[in-house]
Amino acid sequence: MDFKQAAILGLYISKDYAEDLFRLLATYRNISASEAASRLNMHIKTVQDFLEAMASLDILEKTEALEGKRPYFRYALKTKRINLELDLEPLFENPQTDDKLSLKIRESKNTRVRFTVARNNQYISNVVIWIGEGRDRKERKLNLSMPQGKFIYHLPFPSAEFQSISNIMKNAGIDGTHISEILDIVNVLLDYKVIDSE
């Protein structure tokens, strides 16, 4: 199940009426939205949306039926157990990590940003970025993890030479287990033009 499917399941399974609808589906061989709505004294659109969502997740079987010349759908349970399993593997850093570590960066010139140095002066605790102009100006505050703070602390100044991400990590004493979070904050700061790449 992917995140989109999990979100659909979570949205509908959290409804107060979810258990009642599943109980009906377990009791009846198959049931229509209007029958279920009537039985539970619910709005038919609410029931229809629920049944359609469960059918899209392959939890219910949806079959077309005819009443006179008017077609409608009946729904039946396809399973007695719903398992929610999310594959997080795609979220991990992709194989091009080495290429990204060789990217040379430095702090941008004339950025509207404030770096807050931690009390021990060994790392940056947060970065505040101002977005927009005048009264529409908004503040975006990024709280940094310790490795990210050390990395930003060792980021070359705008007047300094560009350095590779791997070299900055080395200077900051950050080991390879933190690569993904360093690349994440670099991407965010590149998007906000707080840092430049060569």
| One domain, residues 141 and 114 | yes
* Domain-located, residue 88: no
* Domain-located, residue 17: yes
* Domain-located, residue 86: no
Residue 65's DSSP bridge partners are: 72
* Domain-located, residue 83: no
Give the domain extent around 49: 3-77
* Domain-located, residue 87: no
| One domain, residues 71 and 110 | no
The per-residue pLDDT string of the chain (198 residues; one tens digit each, 9 = 90 and over) reads 889 999 999 999 999 999 999 999 999 999 999 999 999 999 999 999 999 999 999 999 999 988 777 889 999 999 999 988 888 887 776 656 667 889 999 999 988 899 999 877 789 999 999 888 878 888 899 999 999 999 999 999 999 999 999 999 999 999 988 998 999 999 999 999 999 998
| One domain, residues 109 and 184 | yes
Supply the pTM of this predicted model: 0.64
| One domain, residues 154 and 187 | yes
Please write the tens of the pLDDT for every residue from 169-194.
999 999 988 998 999 999 999 999 99
Total of domains in the chain: 2
Are 118 and 153 in contact by the 8 Å Cβ rule? The answer is no
| One domain, residues 42 and 118 | no
| Pairwise CA distance, residues 44 & 62, whole Å | 16
* Domain-located, residue 56: yes
| One domain, residues 38 and 104 | no
Phi-psi category of residue 79: left, alpha or beta, with phi > 0 → left and psi -120 to 50 → alpha: beta
140 Cβ neighbours under 8 A, 6+ residues apart: 128, 129, 130, 131, 192
CATH of residue 31's domain is 1.10.10.10
- State which of 77, 112, 139 marks the end of a domain: 77
| One domain, residues 8 and 98 | no
DSSP 35: H
